[in-house]
Each structure stands twice: as C-alpha cells, then as structure tokens.
Amino acid sequence: MAAVAVTAAALAPAVAGGAHKGAATLRRWSAATARPAGRRAAIVCQQQPERRGSTLAARAAAAEVVAAVPFPTPALEPFAAELQAAGGQQERSRLLLGYARRLPAYPEAARTDAHRVMGCTAQVWVSAELDAAGKVRFAADSDSELTRGLAALLVEGLSGLTPDEVLQVDPACLGQLGLGPAVLTRSRANGFLNMLESMKKRARMLAGDLPRFPSLLITAEGTAAQGAFAEAQNKFLRPDPAVVDALVAQLQAKQIGVVAHFYMDPEVQGVLSSAAERWPHINISDSLVMADGAVKMAEAGCKAIAVLGVDFMSENVRAILDEAGYKDVAVYRMAAESIGCSLAEAAESPAYESYLAEAGATPTSLHVVYINTSLKTKALAHQQVPTITCTSSNVVQTVLTAFAEVPDVHVWYGPDTYMGRNLAQLFQSLAQLSDEEVRELHPAHTQASIRSLLPRLRYFDQGTCIVHHLFGGEVCELVKEGYRDAYLTAHFEVPGEMFSLAMEAKRQRGMGVVGSTQNILDFIAANFFMTQNILDFIAAKLTAALEAPYPDRLQFVLGTESGMITSIVRKVQGMLHAAGRSDVSVEIVFPVSPEAITTDKQAGAAQTELPSGLSVVPGPAGGEGCSLEGGCASCPYMKMNSLAALTTVCERVGTPGEALLEAFKPRPYTELVGGKTMAQAGCVPILHMRGFQKGGQLPADLVAVYERRSLDAMLGGPSGLGLANNAMKALCLLSGAGEGACLAEEVAAAGVEDRYFKMTTQAGKLVQAFPMRNGARPTSDGSIGSYSLTRPNLQRTLYAALPPGTVTCDASFRSCALREDGRVEVTLALSDGTGSRAGGTGAAAGAVDGAAAEGAGTAEERVEICDLLVGADGIRSRVRTCLEERHGIEARHPQYSGYAYIRGLVDLSLWPGGVAGWQKQWAGTHLVYGTCGAGIVTPDTLCFGRYVPAPQGTFSPGLMPPAKAKDALEDLCHDYGPMRELSLMTEAPRVACGELWQLPSPKEVWGAGCVTLVGDAAHAMLPALGQGACQAIEDAVELAVTLHQAASAKAAAPTNGAASAQLSASELETALRRYEAVRGPHTAGVRNMAEATFKHAAGETWWARVKRECWFW
C-alpha cells in the first residue's frame, strides 16, 4: 500500500508521536510474483480417533479371497486377467497407464467441483448420463495417470448397466482385479472406492431416487423433527431443568463466564441457552465475538472463562484478555488434549509458508487472514507481509476497502480455499452489475473497479474445513433438484456449489443469503420483521411476503454447521411469540446425505473385511449425518466440548482440583517474533481488523512507526511541554480514540489549560501578564486555547489514537536506499527480547528514572520495502544522515547553542495551599521568570526549568542523581523567585539535564526520493519559543494533507478512468517536495526567532529587553 492511503487522521498522530522521540516512520509493504498453486482434495475426518487416517485402508498384503464376488459386467474380466497375469508392480502400473490412454477425452466444461470425487488424493472427476436404452454411460478423468487408469477400469466396467444395476455393484469385486497392494496403496484404494461410490450416487440421481433431507419444523408452539438427523438436533432443545440448575449454581458461585461457538452440539447449546436466562455471563457467538464477550465478562467481575471451541479460539480469548489487562482471569479449554481444526492447521503447513513467501515478494501486497487461525499463523504472517484479520462477516468489506484505498494492491486471502473461491465468485458477479448496484455494497467501487481488482485477488487453494468441505457438489445437486423453491443459506466457507446455489437464489429470486453464521441468523430473522440490514434488493420482497394476511411456511436450507440450530430456534420462536403468529412456521432443512445415517446395527458392527484386503470402518452412529461424498454437518473437534467436560471444569475451578486443569489452559507461546511474544504479535492483525471495523479504513498500523527507545524510556522522565494554539488547531483536524472526539480535545484532557500567562525579569519585575484564550475547539473567530502537559501524557494520548501495535519500540534505524522502482529499502535493527509495542488504549504506561536509551538485547536485522519513509528521529537523525551521505542532500550538522538545561517535575500538593496556593501567589498556570520557567502540566504537578550558559560537555544528558540534583538546583535557582522553594519541596526531585542544540535551516529541501523528514530531524530549534513539539505536529498534519490532496486530485482527474488514487513513485516524490517547500520557509522563520531570543543583542525596544532578560519556556 502506498503512503497516499494514509489519511491525516492516521498519519499525523504516528509522526507527531515520534517527532522528538527518535522514531523512524515508514509506510510498510512487502513484495513479488504470484504463481498458481495446485489443488488438493481434502480428507474426511472420522469420528473414531483410534482408527483415524482413512475410512478405507489397504493391507500390506492381499487378503485371501474367501468367496468370489462376480463382476458386474463381463467388461471387467479381461482387465482382471491381464492384471493377475502381470509379473509385478511395474507391469501392473504399465497396464494402468495403458488403460488411462484408452479413456475417452473428458469435456473441459465438466471439470468442476460438482463432478469431483471427494476423498481422493488426486483430482478425479466423474459424470454420467442415460443413453436411449436407459443404460448409464460414465465418463471420468484425473490429473494422475495411475488414478486415471483406475477410473478407466470403472468407466469401461460399469457403463452399460441400468441405474439399479449400478447401485447393486459390490465393492468387494474390486479386490478381485489383481491390482495388488503395491499399486493399490492406502490412499489410492480409498480413492478407487470413492470413485465407485460417486458413480453409484450419480446412478441414483439418474433413476430419480432423490431422498429428502432431514428437517426441523419450528412453530410458536414447539418443534417437530423429520428424519434421524433432525431428531438428534431436536432432542436437546429442551434441556433437563436439573442439569441447567446445577450449571447455573456453579457458574454463579465461582463467577465463571462461558463463551461458546455457534457450532456446539445441540445438547450443549440447549443447556447454555437456558442457563443464560439466569446467568448473564454466557455468550454463544461467532469466534471473534467470543473474545469480546470474554473481556466484558472479566470487566463484570468473572474470575475464570470457560471456552467451548477449538484451540485457536481459546488462544484468542487468552490473548485479548491479556491485551485488555485481565491476565489474572483464568481461561480453560474443555479437554486436556488438543482440540484441533483442519483449517487452522492448513495455515501452518509448508504450502501456506510458500504462499506467504509469494505474497511477501509481490509489490504492494496485503495478506487478509481468516480469524479461524492460530495466533502463531497471524504473528508469522505479519512478519512477512502486512496482515489484517477478517471474519466471514467483514471479509467482503475488508477486501473491497483495501482495493478502494489502494487500487494497485494485491490482496492475498487465506487459508480457507472455499471462502477465497466464493469471494472471487461474488466479485465476478458484482462485475456484471451496474455502478449503482455495486455502490450499494461498497460506495467507493464501480463496475470498472471491480473488474480491475479481479486479477489481483489471490486465495490459498489447499485449505479447507472438514465440515464445510462436505457441502459439496452432489449434496448441492440434491438441493437443486428438491429445494429450488426454498430460501438458501450458505456460509462463506462452504464449497462453491452450495455458495453458487445461494448466490443464484439471492440474485435471481431474492431467496438466498451468503456470509457468516450471524448473517444467516439475521437473514432468517429478517424474513419476519427486517430487523437487520440485509441487501435492499431482497428486503422489499421479504417485507411484502410477511405483510400478507394469510398463513405461510418458510423453508430454509441451512448451508452451514448444524450446531447453530439452537440459536435459530430460540430466535424464530421469540419472534413468532412477539408477533402473535401461530399460522406462520419455519422449516430448517439440513442438507446432509441420508445414506450417511447409520443404523444401530451398523454402529455396533465390527470393521468389515473385503476380499481384496480392503477394510471398511463403520460410519458415525445414530443420525450424525457424515459421509464420504458430502453432507457432514457436525464438527468432530467441536464435539470434544461436551456438557460433561464443562461440568468437570466448573467443579474444579476454585478448589484444590483446579491444579488438574493446567493442561486445559490455552497453549502458551514462548517464541519471540520481532521482539514480541507470539501472543502479542498474533494480536496485531486482529487489532488491525478492530481498527478497520471502528473507522471503516485500513488501519494506521500499516504506517509502521519504529522507535529506537524502549516504551518505558519514551513514557518516563521528568519532562513537560506546552502546545500553543497553532498546534492545537492542527490537532483539531484529527480524530481521536474516542467516538466523535477530535484529538485536540483528548490532548486537552491530558493536560492543563494555560488560562493566565505571567512574565517577569530575573529581578522579579513584571514585564507582561495576560489571560489566555481557552477551549480545545476553535471559536467562530478561529481562536483556541493553549495547553501544558507532560511528554508521557502527550505520547499516551497520541498512541491511543492509533491502533494498538502501531509503534515498535527498541528498534534502531540502520540505513535506507532508494530503489530503481522508486520505493525505499530500509534496514532496521530490532532488540531480541526488550521490544515492546505502543498504540491504542491498552498501551503500557511506564516511567523509569533513566535517560533515553536504545533498547538492550541482541539486535535482529530486518529489511523493509516501503513506499514512503518519514524520518522523525530527532536532531541527530540517522535518516537525514543517510540521505546526506548517499543521496546528496545538503549536509547540516547540529550546532551547540552555548546553553544547557535543567528541568524537573514537582508535586504541587507540597506547596503551601497546594495548587490553589501556587496560583494565588504566582497568579496563573504558566510563568516565565527570567531564565527560569514553570507551568502546571497535570492537576497536581508542576514542571520547572532553567537554561544556563555552559561550556559543551558540562552536563551529561539524563536524569541527575538526587543528591546532585538538589545541589544543582540550589546553586542555579537560589535567587529566582519560587524556583528554589520548588527545588526543596521533595527529598528526591526528578530532575534531568542536558545541552541545547539546533540545526541550521536548510537552503533547499530536506528530503530525497520518497523519503522526507519531520520535527527535529528537519528543523531542530532552541526551546525559547516553546515551538518544538508544535512545529512537529504542524509538519505531520501538513504532510498528511499534502498526500491526501495529491491522491484526491489524481482520483478526480477526468483522464483517470479507473478513479485510482494510487500515486506513482514520481507523483509521491513531487508531493513530498511540495510539502517541504511549504514547511521549509515557515519553520526557518520560527527557528531563527527562537535563536534570536537567546542572543543578548542591544536595543531599546520592549522586545529587545525581553530577549535580554527573559527566556520563553
């Protein structure tokens, strides 16, 4: 992303926050080329872990054939004879390759997921049709030649049968072909049988034998289940009151909060939903909201949080609680062993590492990672390429906003293949709509912009959820045939076939929704009262149907995990009761494969042995609804979050048995990433998303600020400053951390308003005294107040306006180089263990008695490629030095002023009469007293300072030891009004000293290429006018405004057909030089005036006497 995408509200706080603090600010993106990756079929996870690995297993040696099973057609017999006569594995493989060559060419148009065979390692496609004689004619293909040979056996062996005959084919006959275990490996054997099962499914469709899906009918009076799967869901909708009572008693007594995912089993959801009516700290939601709910529970006093979900969900809860300051609130999972997630594991695979490497090498790349991944994935990804987290609820807006703000960006979505594919399909559909229709979804886009982004949207193609994976083509064909008149819902994570059906229903008939679990809930609810904002083009149809005065029955096909049925039932029934409509009902259809529902006999049966040496493991029992070829709608990992597990955890909390729950805690991350713990680093992309959700723009953290000191060093030290009205006016242009607040108001709240100013000579003679303008917002005449505050309070306020994690501390700038493509290569050194992050309201607030120092620890070198580098690293700027040495800008060296300073903070409660006594005696909040100055910087703290002539080297910068500080204050301030009294008020005054330096004004510009400077790095000046921080803030705002204006002008240009606001490197460089041309003369004038104040020039004017006798503090 280019710097132009940074708004004034984003850039200025980041730059101003580091203007005097040794910070180097840069717009960070990584870089390279995309390459298409191959696709894999996902493996179905079984319900029996002791046998997991495969449903069909091939033995190492062929089993003895006990009884011959006849081939379904004579066509297989010649193949069997050839294979059985073959001399060994190589000969059998050669024969299979020959069969593959005989297979007729497969139509390219048929190579779709609808025809793909699930459960095969290779890609396999199967289709079928009836000929004039009513016989089935199969076609197949594979991207593996050996698998293609196996497909050829089935095509030639089964074609010519009637549909009923195909359904009667015994899989055992395949074992008599003589393939042998060396050819028919475990994975290939599974795929071979899956091909047969797929052919049977196709024959059933051709025969018109389309089974109805199980469903649950919801009325105001209750629920009625149809089918075994639905009965299993319905069973726990009305939980045992005694079980609910027991759970509520434990939760209340021990102050335990519960956060659970929508995908819990109905038994768990039923109990939790009932318990939530009596114990408010129970939340059933999507994964992201779980962490939010946990924070609210901790704020309300909960001592422990039980997380019912997979491991990455509990890790997120733990990390977000830590970020919010609730490290003492315990978090427990529901099992001692791992509660995995196939999708999260895909993001930790070597394939995903390669995918991220491509993203990191592609210019202007943004990685959008699904929330359903581990913190480790998020942390490591963000190290390679700027990363923002998304949910299924906000992924569309996140991606579209990225393309809108940075039209040339490459967006890399992962790891969920189906969601990525569905996003691409959604955008392809948008590209066919009018500009007005596109703007309904995102106001910054048009049909042309949608079309232009399609080639730059990438998605990972090897990551699937084992639950959503099974809403595949064949199940969707059943939906298409039997439920075309129903409302269709599809989660963004389901395969494209289900997504396409819902999209088609949504687009053509206004009867579909695609999105998150919450979107589906809202959609179902909206069909009654339109209480949620769904797309306008379906709102009118739904509203009209509900206003009809006749009974109705709405049917929804639930294209997502069945665990959310409890939430649906409760919401629908609540709305029916509120409306008083007993004549309206809702049927929820579960698109599962009916043949996957095993009988009691099958559930208890032993493993079936096939004559070929293949074994068949019985499917899950009692209506679980899982099959090899589509329709599993219950997550085996989520089933580990049982009611019994929750009860056990609650019973042990607060007892000696809690020690047994150590293994139930979320995985701790001890590795460091960029000087941060894995958990801290993993939170950054999540916080990016929160910043996007708050402001509707990509977060300012994509402007990375690197601070060479530790966070404690930045936020500590006895230092105060004044922000005159020019700085406050600039801050009024920026939004703060609070809703609707400007940054000036938040800065004002952190300091003290300067309501009265008093100036005297060193002898105490009054020179001038006057009241100050007040208020943190400009009045009608443009006036605004001035404020004094401590530097730590200013830093905290500025950082709070940034997303957490924006500032990386303990990071040193090494060098920069201008690349041929106009971008900037920056080399940094990061501390290995002391690095810390600042920004946001959760930023640490440290204070140490020590001078500013670079972070300790072994440095880790990092190279960043960015579009814009802003040096805000002080008077001895390494960025400026690098430009001088490498890129020919005018060399300017710091000049010693001949003065040193001594300053400190004093607790005014020690002054006689406190703050009121001070103000009464010295008539104001701000005092200049000769070469000394004092100002109230917090309601009970006063900052004082003195400038003294001193040879260079007299004062070593830093905090002074208490004894030395008291001696220095008594010596330097003994005859200057209240200063000596102030210095004696505390036994250990926090006093710092140092030397005053300045930079010569530049003759021309102070930057080069796409590099510029702000604050002391550009124009360090003496503090006589109190304008150092004020000018840095003005710099930051002017820079942001200049870039914004350049981008807006380009976007509005008539020749810019795509309405792109992306500045090229040359355009960005022109904007930077324009900024320097504006700020250079202005800051030179302020700098020269500050220098003149320090000179003892003769003259009879009032200002000459002020210059001789008074120093502005």
> pLDDT for 485-534, tens place per residue?
455 544 444 434 444 444 444 444 344 444 433 443 343 333 333 222 22
Question: In Å, how far are 73, 572, 709, 870 from 152, measured between CA atoms?
Answer: 14, 51, 68, 64
Per-residue model confidence (pLDDT) at position 288: 67
- Tell me, yes or no, if the pTM score tops 0.75: no
Tokens of 56: 């069909």
**DSSP secondary structure of 371-419:** SSS-HHHHHHHHHHS-EEEE-TTTHHHHHHHHHHHSTT-EEEEES-HHH
Tokens of 102: 């005989």
Of 454, 498, 504, 503, nearest in space to 476 by CA? 498
Please write the tens of the pLDDT for every residue from 183-229.
667 567 767 877 887 788 788 778 876 557 788 888 888 999 887 77
Q: Who wins on pLDDT, 806 or 450? A: 450
Residue that has been written with the tokens 């406190």 in this structure: 914
Indicate the range of 14-23, 154-163, 381-390, 999-1008 predicted with least confidence.
14-23
The count of C-alpha atoms lying within 13 angstroms of the C-alpha of 369, restricted to the half-sphere facing its C-beta, is: 35
Question: In Å, how far are 821, 1001, 1074 from 1081, measured between CA atoms?
Answer: 31, 9, 12
Of 134, 275, 117, nearest in space to 647 by CA? 275
Geometric angle at alpha carbon 526, from 524 and 532, rounded to 5°? 120
Query: What mean pLDDT is predicted for residues 409-416?
Result: 90
Which residue type, as a one-letter code, is found at position 829? A
Per-residue model confidence (pLDDT) at position 5: 30
* % of the chain with per-residue pLDDT over 90: 20
What is the pLDDT confidence band of residue 918, given thresholds at 50, 70 and 90? confident
CB 566 within 8 A of CB 269: yes
CB 735 within 8 A of CB 743: yes
CA–CA dist 563, 634 (Å, integer)? 7
pLDDT over threshold 70, residue 985:
no
CB 959 within 8 A of CB 902: no
Q: Which positions are catalytic?
A: 120
Around Cβ 869, how many Cβ atoms within 10 Å?
28
Please write the tens of the pLDDT for every residue from 604-630.
333 333 333 333 333 232 233 333 233
Per-residue model confidence (pLDDT) at position 983: 62
Tokens of 21: 């603090």
CA–CA dist 23, 999 (Å, integer)? 18
Of 674, 685, 713, nearest in space to 831 by CA? 674
Question: Is residue 852 classed as helix, strand or coil in its secondary structure?
Answer: coil
Per-residue model confidence (pLDDT) at position 629: 30
CA–CA dist 199, 203 (Å, integer)? 6
What distance separates the 2 farthest-apart alpha carbons in the chain? Answer: 123
Residue that has been written with the tokens 């957490």 in this structure: 804
- Rounded to the nearest integer, the mean pLDDT of the chain is 72
**DSSP secondary structure of 125-168:** EEEEEE-TTS-EEEEEEESSHHHHHHHHHHHHHHTT--HHHHHT
Please write the tens of the pLDDT for every residue from 348-375.
889 999 999 999 888 778 999 988 888 8
Query: What mean pLDDT is predicted for residues 398-422?
Result: 84
Per-residue model confidence (pLDDT) at position 545: 40
Query: Which helix (DSSP H) or strand (DSSP E) does residue 633 occupy?
Result: none
The 3-state DSSP composition of the chain as helix, strand, coil percent (nearest 5) reads 45, 20, 35
Most confident of 322-326, 347-351, 742-746: 347-351
Q: Are strands 387-390 and 457-459 parallel, antiparallel or unpaired?
A: unpaired
Per-residue model confidence (pLDDT) at position 194: 73
pLDDT over threshold 60, residue 127:
yes
CA–CA dist 759, 928 (Å, integer)? 5
CB 198 within 8 A of CB 180: no
Query: Which helix (DSSP H) or strand (DSSP E) does residue 247 occupy?
Result: helix 241-254
Per-residue model confidence (pLDDT) at position 895: 93
Around Cβ 61, how many Cβ atoms within 10 Å?
10
Quick one: residue 898, left, alpha or beta (phi over 0 = left, psi -120 to 50 = alpha)?
left
CA–CA dist 453, 909 (Å, integer)? 62
Q: Are strands 787-790 and 676-677 parallel, antiparallel or unpaired?
A: unpaired
Kindly tell me the sign of the dihedral angle through the C-alpha atoms of 376, 382, 385, 386: positive
CA–CA dist 173, 185 (Å, integer)? 17
pLDDT over threshold 90, residue 100:
yes
Q: DSSP state, 557?
A: E
Chain-centroid distance, C-alpha 586: 36
* % of the chain with per-residue pLDDT over 70: 65
What is the pLDDT confidence band of residue 666, given thresholds at 50, 70 and 90? very high
**DSSP secondary structure of 567-611:** HHHHHHHHHHHHHT-SSEEEEEE----GGGS--HHHHTPPPEEPT
Q: Where are the alpha helices (DSSP H) in 517-582?
A: 517-529, 536-546, 565-579
Q: For the chain, give the number of residues.
A: 1113
Please write the tens of the pLDDT for every residue from 569-587.
877 788 778 777 777 788 8
Geometric angle at alpha carbon 717, from 677 and 978, rounded to 5°? 165
pLDDT over threshold 70, residue 774:
no
Per-residue model confidence (pLDDT) at position 466: 45
CB 217 within 8 A of CB 226: yes
pLDDT over threshold 80, residue 716:
no
